[in-house]
Structure formats: C-alpha cells, structure tokens
Structure 1
Amino acid sequence: MHEPAVKKILYWCEHCNVPLIGRTCSCGNEAKTIALLQPYDIRPALSGDRNRIIQLLRSQYGEVPVPKVILLNKTGGYDRAELVISNGDRFGWLTFDPVTRTYSLEIAPEALPFLVQHISKGVIDLGNHIDLKAEKGRIGGKRFPLKEPVPDGQVIVTANGKYGTATVKDGYIRIKELLPVLPKVYPDPGWETVIAKNAYHLKNLERNAVRTIKRHMKDRPLVNVSFSGGKDSTAAMHLAKKAGVEKAFFIDTGLEFPETIQFIREQGVEVISKGDNNFWQVIEERGPPGKDNRWCCSLLKLDPLKAYLDDIGPCVTIQGNRWYESWNRAGLEVTSQNPINPLQLNVSPIRSWRAFEVFLYLWWRKVPMNPMYEQGVERVGCYLCPAMLESEYDSIRRTHPGITARWDAFLEKWAKKRQMPDAYISWGLWRWHTLPPKMRELCRNMGVFVNDDFTLAKKDKKKESGRKTRKV
C-alpha cells in the first residue's frame, strides 16, 4: 500500500518561539524542523497535561518556570509515552508505568539551556562522587558508584562547567552525556499567539476542507455529519455547517461521559438512542471487550447505525476520521463506502490533520469543545473503551467514580471467576484477549506468566503440572 503523505516533522519559529502548521511564520521567518516520532500525531498539552508536567518537573528540580506552549507527540510504550516538545526542541519524555501506576518525566538534554538557570535541586556535582582527574576520556555512557545516598530516578549532573542527564539506581549513577550548556532565555508566548501566527495556514486548511465537503455533499440524496462529541467530529461538523450541511447525528452507546452527553445536548444534534443493547448482560457471557476483540463496537455503534441508515436511505456522511489516529486509518481516502451499508458514502475532510491542527482550528474559530480534554483525557468515547490508555482510566477512576464503579466491580468478578492474576486489572491487561508483544515483554520482566497462545495465564498456573506456560 502506498504510504500516505503524513507529516513527520513539526515546524517551529525560533524568533517567535511558536509551533507552526506550515514552513513560514507570519513574522516572515523560516521555521526550523523538529523530527517527530511515529505515529507522528501531536497535540497541545492542555490543563490536565500541563499541570502534571509542572508537578513532575518541580518535584524533581524545584520551582522552575514552565513554558505556556507545550506539545505532546505520542509514541509506543507499555502505556502512555509521549515526547514533550517546547521552546523549539525536545523537552523530555512523559510516561506512565501501569505497574507502579505512576508518571515520570525524563528531561531531554535539549531542555538544559532553559532549565540550568532555574533548577534548585535534583542536580548532582559529579566531582563529589567521582575522581574526575582519574577518569580519562569521556564519562558519558559510564556507570559509577555514588558516595552518598541519592534517590533512584533521573537527575541532572554537572562537572567541569558541563551539564548532562543521568539515571540513579541502587546507589549507582549512569551518565548519558556531558556537554557545554549556555543558559538561554526564551520568549514565552501563549496559545493566542500561536493561533495568530498560524492564521494563514488555518484559513487554507478550512478552505480546502469546505471545498472537499461541497464537492461530495450531493453525491447522495441526503447529507449529514457523524458526531461523536470528540474534537475531530466537532471540527468536521463546524466545517460541514460552513459548507451548508445542517443535519448531524450522535449514537448514544449508554457508556458516555456525563460531560459528553451534556455537550451533545448543547450542540442540538439528533441523538440516536442506544435502545436495548443489553451490554451489561452480554459481558456476563462474552467477558470484557478487548483491543483485539471490539465486539462492543458492533453492539453499541454499528448495529444502531445500520438501523438508522436503513431508515433514512442513501446518504453522504461527513466524519472526523484522521490518518494519525491509528494504523488502520493511515491510508484513509477522501471518500469511502460504508462496508456495512454501501448506500452511505463517508467523506473525511480533515483526514490529513493532526490533533495539533484540530485544536488550533477550534480555538481559532472559538468553537466549543468537550470539556473532558482539559482533564487530560485524549479519548472521549466510551468511558470503559479498551482502546483507552490505562493512564486515562486511572485518572477517570478519580474524577468519575460514579460511572467507573460498576465496571470495576464487573472486572473484579470476572477476574475472580477465571482465576486471573492481579495484573489483569491493576495493569489493565483485561484490554487484550491475546497480549501484544509489548505487554508480553512487561509480563516477562515482572514474572507474570503467559500461555503459549499469548493469553494471560491463570493465577498460580506455573505451579500446575502438565500445563505449558512461559514468561514471554
């Protein structure tokens, strides 16, 4: 399959210190490029994300200032793993450990010119622990014993006027690299400045998307918008309205956040009732849906959608699907027929947008969006969706205990009945029927056994005779 023209870099104006959609800034300067990590999607750090970064950064290094404009580039890991970008470069890596259920922020060397002038703790002078004169050549990449106790984790190190980052574990320090660092002061614009500097690019995105909708909106007798309450469908609906599309629908799965339902009501969208889907009865027999067994989508979304489409007849549906959301959507065309109902033609006017463009566009046009995003939630669909990160569900347990309690009670009952180990719930392993390689690696590292078919082994199965299990 031909690889779509995904954007693998981020543009940044060093003069204005703002991220850009295009190569040039409205100030007239050419932008530098920052390489992104797969799947190349980037999004602004909103209130929940930024507060977490502030808390982690200051707990490690003291009352350092934090830039207003921060972007997050998601990448692969056991759970949440994001490259943090700010001040026109890599700032660090934000990760969530599903085993310890804690976040960590690892500082990138590129952030040191900004940080070294402000840090008040978390800095180790290597001269107090290492005989620097006796060490010939580079000490970067080497491991040394510490003379005094230092808590495990990442630290900033200094020696002979140079700075670097290092990791402390069990009384030893491993130094990554030491380099000369010149303190640097950066402009600290807000998102309103980012929007202003990108206005030209946003106008072009809007113009092209509206043209796409107008080009196809009459390909069927009816035209509507599929609205989920998320940011992408919010942008798609706003663009569709500009093109003259008036009708939008939302499928209520019965498992939505209260904030989403309220947001839907405020938009005046037609709500397709969940009907009698019997979800809570079905899971008693089928068990929890998984990322590799999304039977819930058929029951809660596709079946009601098919009934709705059968009722209204042939139609064009504007949707907010994007290339960067998943590998399955990376080759999404402008138009595609619904395989379940060929009478529906789906149109994806923002398929080439990243989350960065989506948020900027909504802010630029002052379009209201689902308030869940400000809480640090990236997905605002069903609150128990297996595609959600465990870090997100960990947050939702605290913010929405009223809706998560029933699901947690079911998981506990299901795990007990099938003798699943504690990791089934506590690490979020219920989200897979067949564990993917990264989670098998985690199980192997932590001594949790996996069956030969890569399903999670029962509790204490390693003690049973005549059964094959392995740490794979």
Structure 2
Amino acid sequence: MAGIKPFEGALDHIFWCDSCNVPLISETCGTCGATARQVRLSPPGDVRFCSPYERTIIRNLFERDFGCDPIGERLVLLNKIPGDDKADEIIIDGYTIAVVYYDLKEEGYKLDLRLYGAKLLMALTNKKTVTVDVPRNMHLSGKGIKGSTVVDTSPDIKKDDIVLIRVNENFNGLGVAKADAENLKDASQNTIKIRKIGGGSIRLNDKLSTLEDAVAANRKTIEAMEKDAINVIKGVVSQGKNKELPVTVSFSGGKDSLVVLNLTKKAVKKFEAFYIDTGLEFPETTKFVEDTAKEVPVKIEKAGKAFDENFPAFGPPAKDFRWCCKVCKLGPVTTHLSQFKKGVITIDGKRRYESFQRGGIDTVERNPFVPGQMSVFPIKDWRAIEVWLYIHMEKLPYNELYDRGFERIGCWLCPAALQAEYVRMKELHPDRYGEWQNKLHKWADESGLTPDYVRYGFWRWKSHPNKMLNIAQEKHIPLKPSYKSGMALDIIRGISPCTLGGYSIEGVLRLPNKASTERLLEMLKTIGAPAYSEDLDVILVRMPKGKGTAKLFAGGQIYASANDKEEAGKLFENTIRQVLRASLCTKCRICVRACPKKAIRLDGHIKVDEKRCDHCGRCTRGCVVARYYDRLINKKQKPDFSGHRPYPVPKNISPR
C-alpha cells in the first residue's frame, strides 16, 4: 500500500442516458444501446441513490426557499462531498442542481443552489427572483452589481438569501442579496453579488424513470462486476495453503457487508459470517442481523457491558479518541477469530471510495491487528451506486436505516457519525438519545464544561477542527475542562499467559497532552515497525526478529505480548517510554546527537529514518522525558510480575 495515493485512478464521473433518463456506470446504455452523456462528480465520487427520507428533506427545502418542487418523483442521485458535516450534491436528469448540507451553527439543513438549478427554477417559480438590466456581454460572474441595475424583485427576499438572477429569457443565473427586497434598488451601493450567470436554459426530461429502469440499463455491467468479485474470492481461497483455511464474512448489518455476504454465498460452499454486537447497535440493525441469520450462518459475538464499564475511566469516545473500538469491537473480533489456530480468510466489504483513509486499500491484506487473519476486499473498487444497483438487482433485503436517513450504519452513539445523523437518531430513538444526553451532560458538568459543549457535539473530538473552533468562538463556548489531569500509569493486568500463546501485559497511560498519531509513529520506529489502523485508531508495533508486538489504543491502553515474560515486560516499558517521548518532547536534540547511525533528525518534531535505525536504544536512554516512566511505575499499584523481574526495576521498587 506504500506509495499509493488515495483515489489514484478513481472515477470522477458517471454517465447519463438521456433517452432512458437513467444514470449509468458505463458509457453505453444497456437498455437502448445509446452512448451516454458524462456527468462530472466532485471527489471522492461515492455517488448513491437518494433515500426516501433525504428526498423529503430536499423537497421541503426547495418549497420553503423557492416555492416549488423540481424533483417530484424523478430519480435523484446524491454525491457526498467534503463539508463541515453532511453535504451532498443533488443530481437529477444528469444535472447537478444544488448542494444540500447540514448547518452545524443553525442546526438544520440548507440548500446551496448551482447554476443548473437556478436555470431550472426560472421556469418554475417567481419566488426569490431579481430581474436586472445589464449588458449580456458584460462579465458578471463573481462581481457585485449596483441597485440601479435592479429592475424588479420579489418581495420575499432577505439579506444574504440566495436569489435567482434574471437578465432575459435565456441569460440568467444566481447570486446573493446584500439587502432586503425593499432596499435592493438602492443605487448608492452594490446590492447583489453575482455568483454565476450564463446563457442557455435547462428543461427537464419528459420521461420519468424508476430504480428498476436504472437496474435494467446497468444490469450487464453489474453482472460483470459481480463475476469479477466472485473470481477474486475464489482465487484467494483456492491458492495453495489457503485451501485449508476456513472462510468467514465480516458482517456489520450494512449495505457493503450485505453485498459481500451474497458474493461469498456464490463463490464458496462453506463459510460462516460473524457479527460483532458492540452493545451500541441500532435496534433496526440488530433485527436485520437476526433476520439474516435465519437464512445464512451468522455467528454473533457480544461485547456485553464493556462500554458502560469503561466510560467512567475514559469519558465519551471521540473521533480522535476511539477507546470504544478496542473494548467493544477489536476484543470480540480477536476472541472470535482466535479459534482458528491455523489462520482464517475473512471476506470484508471495505471500499476505497468510502473515505480518503481507505483510498489505498489492496484487494488482499494481512491484518496486523488480528493475528492469522487474511482480509479480502472483493468490492474495494465499487462505488455506492454500484452497491445499491447490485442490491436491487439481486432483490436483497437491506437495513431499513438506509431509507430513514443514514448513509452509513454503525453504533448509534458513534462519534465518527455526522451530527445530522446524530440528530436523526434523536428523532428515531428519543429514549436512547435522552439517556446518552444525560450521561454526556453529567460528564460535562463534572469536567467543568457547559451544556452547549454537548448540544453542539464538541464531545466528538478531543482536538477540535477549525469548523468547531469557529463555532465555539462565535457562541462563546469554552472547550477546556476546568481541571488539569496529571500523568498516570495503571497496570490493568500484570504479566500473564496470553490466550494466543506467550505472555502479555496491559496498562493504561494517561497524559495531559496526547501526541499526534504522526509523532507516535515516528518515535515508535526506534523500537520496531509501527502500523496504524485508521478505522480502529490503533497502532501496532512489530518488534525486530519476531520478539513480540505492542498495541497502542486511542483510550491510552497499551498491550504488549512476547514469547517470554522478560521480553513482554521489556516491550511494555519501552513502548510507554516512546509514548512519553512523543508526547512530552522538549526538542532538546539529545536523541539526535546520541544516535550513532544519524537516523534521527528534528524537523518540526522528531523524524526517524527506519532504514538507518538499528533499534539500539541509545536515543531512549539519553532522553530526559523517557525517564518519567520510572516515576509513573513507582506507585501503590505496581505490575504483578509473579515473582519475576521482566525488566530492570528502579532500586526503590520491588515486585509486588
């Protein structure tokens, strides 16, 4: 995966057949044989069909803002684009007419019109319309125009409204009002900011197509994609020693895992799906999984009350502090897969169009976080529209949450979810929402944070992005807790036999300031080969010569395992020292000078050349902040080494 750019070679368009009025994933229509028109997509291009719930929102917005409904019963595509929260391009009849987005500040959906949308609305409404008298050959896009050019205006316009700009029948566009309707003719100032204007008009297609029409027009292409995906699965499971490995399907109750489950049924004779019940699943998801389990073998692993048991120690999980993944997901997954002593092949529904982080996944990968697991991603190059075309072509029952406003399916309180989805969850399950809000407000109160900290979703980050910082500044919401937490190291489990063989030790390290993932990865290169899982927010470090592995979780948990007790203890200590170095680095350059291989340099923060580093440890021994470990371990709670000294202990400490 190294060197691969996210979305390298990814498609930035679909096609549209004007004869059949359907979207196509290839240039030739499978129904009429016509060559289709190309429709450009903003990246990442994971275009999908509009759900019934989203259709209602869009209709209501057009009717509220412009007094008309341009979409009716037409096929509508939504293309996810970057934004502060949920944001999608709206495509009808092969034209991008607007963007619908959730406004975090105003806590509601809004429309951002596009030129095609403005031209379309000109024939449907007189609301929010301004007629101007300007020369047609004048370059207007992006310019302000004076009130003296305004000929007429509808009375419903308020300052900052998006308005339709009419010059004549075939030359029009859109802009932003800089005053209320009664002041738009003020000749002393620019009262309209033109956003985009141009010639031509848009007329909707007379043909109203259906989802079934779209499936029919794309059937041959989807069947070819299905065949390729099945061949990927067959190719992996039939290779050499892979023939001896059991086949599992990672089933989440979502659309992508539903597709790979169906593909696996067609590709292999014997397999078992597994589902991780985190204890935080939507009731709709639980029911869908249970219904699916009546048709295919699905093994359900439960996390029980792991979330509630860990919440007092860690508080709410966050996008950059996903301790919940470790206790609610990775733990049950490892438990389930540990039964396969010789390894296991897992068919997984990850797709590279889902996010920039997944943009470079390979078809087959070894999972460094679950020993012995080989993951296969047969639909990694599929887009959401192709997933949905396949589901409807195969007539597969799917999770009802997709029709009720959710683009992705996960835990109902997941901090990685969009705020718009979180609000929707409140509408669907007010009791659960209320319980979670009470829990958040209690935590915020104990942390010296205001109710608005919870209301606007600030709990979903530890380090807030600019969009949230702007909201906090505008609404005067403090973001820092009133208390200061110091450093602490608690040993959860002293050195003990590991379920997968060898020995392990586990602890929790709490620091007032957490190092970035980038800095941690650099520092961990001094002891081994680190790898990062964005999905789980976990770093895994493999030691040289197979001397063990360490895992660092977002919640501060550090888990070290090795073949013997001494190596496990040394690894645990050394891993914590690197976290301390990354988090508390003073940029003193002692480690740079101490390295005999010149593998370390200071460039903003410590950078390590893994090709030069031989893991000699001199940089750690010379680091002042790494010695904080000795202070942290000198507590009432000391590691239980069962009478062994797994690594050098300071003289004033004896094994418990």
- State the TM-score, normalizing by the size of structure 2: 0.65
CA separation in 2, counterparts of 1:112 and 1:134?
A: 20
CA separation in 2, counterparts of 1:42 and 1:448?
A: 37
Residue in 1 that maps onto 2:549: none
CA separation in 1, counterparts of 2:195 and 2:213?
A: 36
1:143 Cα offset (Å) = 4.8
Structure 1 SS opposite 2:338: helix
1:392 Cα offset (Å) = 0.6
Structure 1 SS opposite 2:35: coil
Q: Structure 1 residue 156 and structure 2 residue 142: aligned?
A: no
Larger displacement relative to structure 2 (114-123 or 46-55): 114-123
Unmatched tracts of structure 2, length 5 or more: 181-190, 483-656
CA separation in 2, counterparts of 1:163 and 1:85?
A: 20
Residue in 2 that maps onto 1:465: none
CA separation in 2, counterparts of 1:169 and 1:246?
A: 63
Alignment of 1:401-420 (within 5 A): 401-420=430-449
Q: Structure 1 residue 107 and structure 2 residue 113: aligned?
A: yes
Closer/same/farther in 2, CA of residues 124 and 51 from structure 1, 3 Å limit: same
Q: Identify the match of residue 180 of structure 1 among 173, 181, 199.
A: 199
Structure 2 SS opposite 1:362: helix
1:403 Cα offset (Å) = 1.8
Q: Is contact 2:318–2:415 with CA below 8 Å preserved after alignment?
A: yes
What is the total number of aligned residue pairs between the two structures?
448
Residue in 2 that maps onto 1:46: 51
1:71 Cα offset (Å) = 1.2
Structure 2 SS opposite 1:368: coil
CA separation in 2, counterparts of 1:226 and 1:149?
A: 53
Q: Identify the match of residue 261 of structure 1 among 286, 290, 309.
A: 286
CA separation in 1, counterparts of 2:351 and 2:146?
A: 47
Larger displacement relative to structure 2 (364-373 or 102-111): 102-111
CA separation in 2, counterparts of 1:322 and 1:83?
A: 20
Residue in 1 that maps onto 2:480: 457
1:441 Cα offset (Å) = 4.2
CA separation in 2, counterparts of 1:315 and 1:183?
A: 55
Counterpart residue identity of residue 151, structure 1: K
Q: Identify the match of residue 58 of structure 1 among 57, 63, 70.
A: 63
Residue in 2 that maps onto 1:375: 404
Q: Identify the match of residue 250 of structure 1 among 251, 258, 275.
A: 275
CA separation in 2, counterparts of 1:447 and 1:399?
A: 28
Residue in 2 that maps onto 1:30: 35
CA offset digits 1:424-444 (Å, max 9, x no partner): 222212111111244334445
Larger displacement relative to structure 2 (314-323 or 172-181): 172-181
Alignment of 1:351-362 (within 5 A): 351-362=380-391
1:340 Cα offset (Å) = 2.1
Closer/same/farther in 2, CA of residues 87 and 136 from structure 1, 3 Å limit: closer
CA offset digits 1:297-341 (Å, max 9, x no partner): 111110011011112332111110000112221111111111122
Residue in 1 that maps onto 2:645: none
Residue in 1 that maps onto 2:262: 238
Structure 1 SS opposite 2:353: helix
Counterpart residue identity of residue 429, structure 2: H
Counterpart residue identity of residue 60, structure 1: D
Q: Identify the match of residue 246 of structure 2 among 195, 208, 222.
A: 222
Alignment of 1:17-416 (within 5 A): 17-26=21-30, 27-66=32-71, 68-126=74-132, 132=133, 137-140=138-141, 141-144=143-146, 150-152=157-159, 153-161=161-169, 162-171=171-180, 172-186=191-205, 187-218=207-238, 219=242, 220-244=244-268, 245-268=270-293, 269-313=297-341, 314-416=343-445
Residue in 2 that maps onto 1:12: 16
Closer/same/farther in 2, CA of residues 97 and 232 from structure 1, 3 Å limit: same
Closer/same/farther in 2, CA of residues 208 and 448 from structure 1, 3 Å limit: farther
Q: Is contact 1:212–1:349 with CA below 8 Å preserved after alignment?
A: yes
Unmatched tracts of structure 1, length 5 or more: 127-131, 451-455, 460-472
Taking only aligned residues, the RMSD between alpha carbons, in angstroms, comes to: 2.3
Q: Is contact 1:37–1:75 with CA below 8 Å preserved after alignment?
A: yes
Counterpart residue identity of residue 248, structure 1: A
Residue in 1 that maps onto 2:457: 428
CA offset digits 1:95-138 (Å, max 9, x no partner): 11111111111221113443322225232333xxxxx3699944
Q: Is contact 1:44–1:72 with CA below 8 Å preserved after alignment?
A: yes
Larger displacement relative to structure 2 (324-333 or 57-66): 57-66
Closer/same/farther in 2, CA of residues 425 and 211 from structure 1, 3 Å limit: same
1:15 Cα offset (Å) = 2.7
CA separation in 1, counterparts of 2:304 and 2:179?
A: 56
Structure 1 SS opposite 2:382: coil
Larger displacement relative to structure 2 (397-406 or 270-279): 270-279
Larger displacement relative to structure 2 (116-125 or 307-316): 116-125
1:216 Cα offset (Å) = 1.3
CA separation in 2, counterparts of 1:134 and 1:309?
A: 71
Residue in 2 that maps onto 1:464: none
Larger displacement relative to structure 2 (323-332 or 365-374): 323-332
Structure 2 SS opposite 1:235: helix
Larger displacement relative to structure 2 (193-202 or 151-160): 151-160
CA separation in 1, counterparts of 2:336 and 2:134?
A: 77
1:59 Cα offset (Å) = 1.6
1:422 Cα offset (Å) = 4.3
- Calculate percent identity across the aligned residue pairs: 33
CA separation in 2, counterparts of 1:394 and 1:287?
A: 21
Closer/same/farther in 2, CA of residues 434 and 329 from structure 1, 3 Å limit: same
Closer/same/farther in 2, CA of residues 335 and 136 from structure 1, 3 Å limit: closer
Larger displacement relative to structure 2 (142-151 or 224-233): 142-151
CA offset digits 1:130-154 (Å, max 9, x no partner): xx36999444421545886722422
- State the TM-score, normalizing by the size of structure 1: 0.89
1:22 Cα offset (Å) = 1.3
CA offset digits 1:44-66 (Å, max 9, x no partner): 11101111111111222223341
Structure 2 SS opposite 1:118: coil
Structure 2 SS opposite 1:290: coil
1:255 Cα offset (Å) = 0.5
Q: Is contact 1:158–1:178 with CA below 8 Å preserved after alignment?
A: no
Larger displacement relative to structure 2 (108-117 or 220-229): 108-117
Counterpart residue identity of residue 150, structure 1: I
CA separation in 2, counterparts of 1:133 and 1:208?
A: 57
CA separation in 1, counterparts of 2:477 and 2:431?
A: 33
Counterpart residue identity of residue 99, structure 2: W
CA separation in 1, counterparts of 2:309 and 2:450?
A: 24
